[in-house]
Amino acid sequence: FLFFCFFGLLLHCRPFHYSRFTATHKMDFAMDEAADATDNVRVPEPVAVAAVDLDAYVQHYDGLQLIQRLSFISEVCEPLEFEALVLLQKEVNKSFDYRRYPSLLKRIETVCAREGRDAPECLSDPELISKQKQRVKHEQERLEHALQQHRANGVKESVRLAFNELGDFFMSSNDFTEARQQYHQSRAACTSAQHLVCMYRKFVDVSLALDDWPGIQSNIARARGVQDAVIDAPTESFFTLANAVASIGMGAFNDAAHILVHLEATPDMDRLLSYRDIALIGGLCALASYDRQALTTEVLGNATFSHFLEAAPEIKIIIKAFQQSQYTVLLSTLRQLEPELRLDRFLAVHVTDLLHSIKRKAIVQYWTPYQSADLQKMAEAFHMPMEELESHLISLLTDGEIQARIDKEGEAMHSMQVDKREQTIQQVLDTVSQLEAETSVMLFRCEMIEHNFKVKAT
């Protein structure tokens, strides 16, 4: 009787303890995942110099992209903060994003007080926020009323366009979740392949605004996979630029370089990236990824990419300095460009990795012809502190990109002596193993043919 009571107690208690254990560990695991995600978020470094002329800068972008770029510059570059905020206020005033106004005006007021500047005109209108709110409300009511009328009429094309207009309104209002929902609802009114391509383009716009890099690439793939769809030149150009931006955002420098150096300049090219952006990002990503021959043929000798290089002559200087082993010119030009690169909202968090890759590649090229090298002379050639050079060399040695040893006392680096006899024997053994495997496959095939054994393709 006691045995059955104890057994029954176990049966009743085990599910409770198991569920509590599972729920607790699931919650802990979810918290760990959230903590890891927070730790993996990379914060752009602040920029201490005014690296761009904002009045000329704003001419290359428009709409939401310009708003997001100005907002990013105002956050990372204190010398340009006031100018960026004033330009940002003018652009926000053209949009329907009234929710941004209170914090934006507060920031402008704070910067004016900190720097002793006169308050701009936007701070002198106390009813500015209420006017914007009223304007947004009237526009939303107008679009929703138009959508209801088109639905009542039952004309699918009008319904689709109404959903798109409402989605564009929410994009301008900085409500990207609602914008995506409106674009998605337009799918039921799509009557052709071109309508589906248009819908996926809208999804790409939302993903760009949210920095959803995988979402950009997946929606582009879906658009290009629509059956019987003919994608026009402006849309294809937009997809190509968006794909390059996604590659940059994920730190895939090789993919970004391959896309940008083969990009054709067209009059109706989307303003997602300027000509200078394409030249800077494409050229530097190519320098970090391509070999010397590819840099000559794919970048400097590329007639298509030369149109973009005219907007950024520094890239030609950098690549030629790399090919001619003029490392001081190479690194000094990179240092001049670094503040401007850190103001690009797509590239900013990857600038350190990109420049690090270029420096490593230059060091490997410097070392390749030598059996030994003086570290002091190498530091002078790269115009680099000895501690930074040693850090790069240790990383290269650890990764196996350089086969050498560092003589810390003698401040030199010596190539590791390779036993050529052992290396030759190993090559012979590898060749023999490969021949044995190939011969075995050939004999097996001969036996199959001899016994008239055939396997049909499925």
Per residue in 155-176, pLDDT (tens digit) is 999 999 999 999 999 999 999 9
Tell me, what's the pLDDT at 383? Answer: 85
- Cα separation, 241 vs 32, whole angstroms: 35
Whether residue 276 is predicted with pLDDT greater than 60 in this model: the reply is yes
Whether residue 431 is predicted with pLDDT greater than 50 in this model: the reply is yes
- Cα separation, 186 vs 166, whole angstroms: 10
Amino acid at 195: H
Whether residue 362 is predicted with pLDDT greater than 80 in this model: the reply is yes
Prediction pTM value? 0.79
Q: Rg of the chain's alpha carbons, rounded to an integer?
A: 30
Tell me, what's the pLDDT at 418? Answer: 61
The residues, any chain, with a CB within 8 Å of residue 8's CB and separated by 6 or more, are: none
The rounded mean pLDDT for the chain is 86
Mean pLDDT to the nearest integer, 103-119: 87
- Cα separation, 439 vs 314, whole angstroms: 55
- Cα separation, 288 vs 267, whole angstroms: 29
Confidence class for position 457, pLDDT limits 50, 70, 90: low
The residues, any chain, with a CB within 8 Å of residue 279's CB and separated by 6 or more, are: 305, 308, 309, 310, 311, 312, 315
Mean pLDDT to the nearest integer, 329-348: 94
Tell me, what's the pLDDT at 19? Answer: 34
Question: Minimum mean pLDDT among 193-197, 353-357, 369-373: which range?
Answer: 369-373
Per residue in 90-109, pLDDT (tens digit) is 999 899 988 888 888 889 88
Mean pLDDT to the nearest integer, 132-146: 93
Tell me, what's the pLDDT at 354? Answer: 95
User: Which value, to the nearest 10 degrees, does the dihedral of the CA atoms of residues 235, 240, 243, 248 take?
Assistant: -130
Per residue in 32-67, pLDDT (tens digit) is 433 343 345 677 888 888 878 999 999 999 999 999
Q: Are 343 and 47 in contact (CB under 8 A)?
A: yes
Q: What are phi and psi of 419, to 5 degrees?
A: -75, 100
Whether residue 10 is predicted with pLDDT greater than 70 in this model: the reply is no
b (16+ CB within 10 A) / e for 372-395: ebebeebbebbebeeeebbebbee
Question: Minimum mean pLDDT among 105-119, 130-144, 332-346: which range?
Answer: 105-119
